[in-house]
Amino acid sequence: MDQSPPSKRSTILWILLLLAVVFLWWYLRPHSDRGVSAAELEADRAAALGTDPDEILVDLRDDASAATVAAIERELGLDLVLVSREARDEQLYRARVEPSRRDAVLAALSRRAEVEVAEPDATFWLTPGEAYEVQPPSGTWEGFPDDPLYAKQWHLKQIGMPEAWKLADGDGVIVAVLDTGVAYADRGRYHQVEDLKGLEFVKPYNFVDDNTHAEDDHGHGTHVTGTIAQVTHNGVGVAGVARNVKIMPLKVLGGNGSGSVAGIADAIRYAADNGAKVINMSLGGPFPSKVLKNAVAYAHKKGVVVVCAAGNDGRNKVGYPAAYPGAIAVASTQADEATAFYSNYGKDIDLAGPGGNTRGGEAGGVLQNTIKVGDPTKSGYYAFMGTSMASPHVAGVAALVVGEGVTNPAMVEQILKETARRPSGKKYSSDRYGAGIVDAPAAVKKARSHHGAWQAGLALLLAAAVAASARRRGLGVKLGAGYLGGAIAGSAGLLFFLPLLAGSIASWPVVEAMTRGLPSLDMALLGGAERGHPLFMSALLPLGLVALGAGHPRLRAVVAGLAVGVAAHLLFFAAVPVFDVRWVPGAFGTLDALWLSANAALCAGLAVLTLRR
């Protein structure tokens, strides 16, 4: 039997382990380097061009009573009307006032404790470029994907989709498209465009007409949806980025391409409350709105990645909502990877994606299947340009990352930025490209490997500390490869390094299970977007393994190692909040870290007990 080492050595190991966890928290924590100052907001508000002179928005506290609403109406002579049927939970109202009274009414509302925000309503819009129709070829395309017009989709090649399709498909992640609607159903004069047949649509809503029919009467929203999730490798038309996501069509813009801030903010909250993990907004305006800013913050806090077009004004100022903290602002590149002439730029740009340039004709545009602009009875394949087209490329890649189990929006943004690439043969500047051009395969690989080496290293350090503690109490099991192998398997997976070396092989189901730690079995059963099930992120699995294997001398070291590995896995994610632990109050917060840390301690205790005589 091994002799017990001095207790000093065990104490040192535990101190090193604690220091390692603190370092992981500091070094790998999600971070943001962007903010919008009050002075900037006020300056933009003063220069606002799209406010409605006789409509205001009143956002009351969520717990405001009907009596409070009635009192405000009576005292200020207002008729408060919910922005939509879906706005009741957040108590967002619209009211008409005489322009001469507006400022006084807003000042009176802002003094009331029940009012969170009172401001003029405003109009946001899209700015489409030229639309070129492209005819599908008469022959067939024999490669992958086999969509006949894929050869003209230079934009998918620019972000690396030929390699990314071998790695990930979105795994059922729900992406909300806030736009002019989507041609997703056959109803009256509306029809589903051919290359969206087979895609799953969930919980559509029309915030323009306040009903559940979110069909497209413009063409923009369907085109954006195609970039995110066009049905791929179906022998029809074109391809899309994340071919296995679900789309939530939310109509916030009318057939003229404009819509109110109230409807957009309402739709953001609706998406966050109804399971969306990614929101794409290819829309915006040059002025801020507190209601919209609060809605973006609400979605981000609930674990939604918010991706926005930077704007098509060609100015050194990112539009809203892209400029808000919690939103990913996307600039536009063209086929040669230069930034497009129309793309907004500046310090708030986060990433760049292909948005195209049709000044030279259809070949320079982003090609997707959509309805004829303004005519939902007809459809075809159209090349558009704009930051509106760049944003859904990033949203699609974000969905691929979420599908790999990274559900914290700050971590998703961090992965997208860390893996973005510099433009080929073009001068790079952060105010034009942000972190660079989004790189789909690099992002997926980083999300999949997900700091596996850190997890494995933490497991080995913890394994040494647990073994030292067990020796002090009379070690009864001979340690060796089984113990260490179990620790690595439980923490990072025995093949944790494979996604970085051979990503396509790592996508095979059996192999993939060996590239993740034991608690990540929840991804295999529930999907990446649902990662963080508390039964898997707990001591329950190690407890079951110990109960089965502790009585077998040859298995005791292995199950102890697995328990140590799970402890390291939980400790890592307590320090680095990659996902939210479901059903634990507060998203990505202190209670999540406490849950994971407490269960890690239980796992370590189980390992010590198993290793003793």
As annotated, the active-site residues are 179, 220, 388
**DSSP labels, 55-105:** EEEEEE-TT--HHHHHHHHHHHT---EESSGGGTTTTEEEEE--TTTHHHH
Q: Residue type for 112, please?
A: R
Euclidean distance between CA atoms 308 and 415, whole angstroms: 17
Euclidean distance between CA atoms 11 and 295, whole angstroms: 48
Euclidean distance between CA atoms 546 and 560, whole angstroms: 7
- The full 3-state SS of 216-252, as one line of letters, equals CCCCHHHHHHHHHHCCCCCCCCCCCCCCCCEEEEEEC
Supply 195's token pair.
């290359």
**DSSP character at residue 338:** S
E strands present in 488-588: none
Q: Is 559 helix (H, G, I), strand (E, B) or coil?
A: helix
**DSSP character at residue 4:** P
Dihedral of the CA atoms 309, 314, 317, 318 (nearest 10)?
0
Euclidean distance between CA atoms 364 and 367, whole angstroms: 9
Distance, C-alpha 593 to centroid of its chain: 21
Supply 225's token pair.
């949806």
Supply 523's token pair.
């991804």
Answer whether 490's CB lies under 8 Å from 518's CB.
yes
Beta strands 200-201 and 132-134: pairing type? Answer: unpaired
Could you give the count of Cα atoms lying within 13 Å of 195 in the half-sphere of its Cβ? Answer: 34
Answer whether 58's CB lies under 8 Å from 80's CB.
yes
